[in-house]
Structure 1
Amino acid sequence: MSRIEFHFNAPALVPYACRLLRKVHGRGFRAQVVGHRTTLTQLDQALWTFSSLDFLPHCGADAAPSMRRVSSVLLTEQPCEDWDRVILINLGESVPANFEGFERIIDVVSIDELHRAQGRERWKAYSRMGHELIRHDLARPESP
């Protein structure tokens, strides 16, 4: 079964995702990021500008195969079966389809009230499926 972590209380979804992806990339991993098209567009732009010292090679699911091979981050509305399936980062509103098979799922929940309510529903859904859930409260100093 996948390891599912919830990162609660992200002050801003996209900047937090940039920092999280920098950490994932720095450890030599690749990640698929799922979410709403608007969020993914914002994340794509932010990954080019969030740090003058870091570059995270990334692309969309519709990129050419040569681009997908060299990217460490894949931005997609639903998980892709034909790309690395170690880490899935969910920035979306619901449990992603086809999330099974990933070793680690990180579900990011912002401080926005609607997003928090959606996060609670995702927590319940994963729990009903029998997954063990790990909670990281980003508002607490000792959280990752």
Structure 2
Amino acid sequence: MTTEIRFYHNAPDRLRVACVLTAKACAGGKRISVFAPDGGTARHFDQMLWAFQPLAFVPHVPAGSPLAAETPVVIGTTLDVLPHDDVLINLGDELPAGFDRFELVLEIVGPSDPERAAARGRYRDYKARGYTLAAHDLAQRSGE
């Protein structure tokens, strides 16, 4: 299996874009692992998913839940507790060890200089390992 890597840059709000990508992947029948290396980000993302679409629900649970194996979206602070291998959404600033078990890795890059610098580092790391990378400029899509 070859892992596909996609970067979405110029995201005005990383977690909001992660919600959009999670909902799209889930609607497409994919099972999504969301890597949020700190508990605060994991909890905030969980709360955002509850309120993200007023007329729809994105089924999700934290990695420690007994329902994790059968729930389409699982949020965890380490990759080893995430049960799904279809899509990984990386909300961390580092290249997560074990990312290559996933079919698709989504990297979301916010507007701040620290976020962009961290993303450039991840981009270089993926490239150095021989991965083909796709980049999507969210500012161009929204007409900004």
TM-score, normalising length: structure 2: 0.91
- Structure 2 residue matching 1:93: 3-state secondary structure: coil
- In structure 1, which of residues 41, 44, 47 is the aligned counterpart of residue 43 of structure 2? 41
The amino acid of 1:133's aligned partner reads L
Task: Detail structure 1 runs of 4+ shifted over 4 Å in the superposition.
Answer: none
The structural deviation recorded for 1:82 is: 6.4
RMSD of Structure 2 on Structure 1 (CA) = 1.7
1:54-87 deviation line (CA, Å, top 9, x unaligned): 11111111111xx113311111122236612011
- Could you say which residue in structure 2 is the equivalent of 1:77? 77
1:52 corresponding residue in structure 2: 54
Whether 2:71 is the aligned partner of 1:63: answer no
Query: How far is 1:142 from its partner?
Result: 7.7
Once structures 1 and 2 are overlaid, which stretch shifts more, 134-143 or 21-30? 134-143
Matched pairs, number: 141
Cα 1:11/1:74, change in 2 over 3 Å: same
Q: Which moved more, 1:101-110 or 1:77-86?
A: 77-86
Equivalent in the alignment of 2:17? 16
TM-score, normalised to structure 1, is: 0.91
Distance in 1 (CA, whole Å) between partners of 2:34 and 2:108 is 11
Give the Cα–Cα distance (whole angstroms) in 2 for the partners of residues 133 and 105 of structure 1. Answer: 10
- Unpaired stretches in structure 1, ≥5 consecutive residues: none
